Amino acid sequence: MTAPDPLSREGAVSHLRRHPEIELSEETGPGTVALLIENTLDEASLTRIRRISRRQGARAVLVVGSIRESELLEVVECGVGAIVWQHQATAPRLVQAVLAASRGDGDLPADLLGRLISQVGTLQRGAAGRAGTPALGLAAREVDVLRLVSEGFDTGEIAAKLSYSERTVKNVIHGLTTRLHLRNRAHAVAYALREGYI
């Protein structure tokens, strides 16, 4: 966990410690969730996010006071799957974000999801006219699953809507994130939006 001050760090630890489904540790690596608390993002914090998610393989939850348009897509591409506004960082909200990240689910505030979709749409429209833009080749069921992920449905809800098992939904998401070298569900949705699939 990183935080700009001891009070923020101790507050987050105190909130999370009360939940037995969350095991607190100072170690980060594959299969762990790193909680990063930042007032604003700067190059040092972006470097920390990249190091934690890319080199150490941890999933990241970002609690942030503000985020610029230019930083939003970058943090998602770096592997941040859950973002919580500082002013909304209650104990239940932190727990929800950490558990979502541990499952590989995305968890973004609605206003950020709208901004992300708009930003990716702009990038996709710009790339659509370029010659040689590679096609993803997503299967219809991958597109169906990603569309429901982008609408905020969890694995069980997606399985029910598509008449799949939860295991099938997880396998579809795992298969496409592995094949396309994507970090998590949020990154997969951003990628599919950028390529015009959803």
Mean pLDDT of the chain: 83
What's the pTM? 0.59
* SS3 call for 135: coil
Q: What is the pLDDT of residue 180?
A: 86
Name the least confident of 7-11, 80-84, 122-126, 138-142: 122-126
Q: Is the pLDDT of residue 122 over 80?
A: no
Name the least confident of 87-96, 103-112, 146-155: 103-112
Confidence category of residue 159, pLDDT binned at 50, 70, 90: very high
Burial annotation 99-130 (CB, 10 A radius, 16+ → b, else e): bbbbbbbbbbeeebbebbeebbeeebeeeeee
* Location of structure tokens 């799957």: 81
7-29 pLDDT, tens digit per residue, is 888 888 888 888 888 888 888 77
Confidence category of residue 130, pLDDT binned at 50, 70, 90: very low
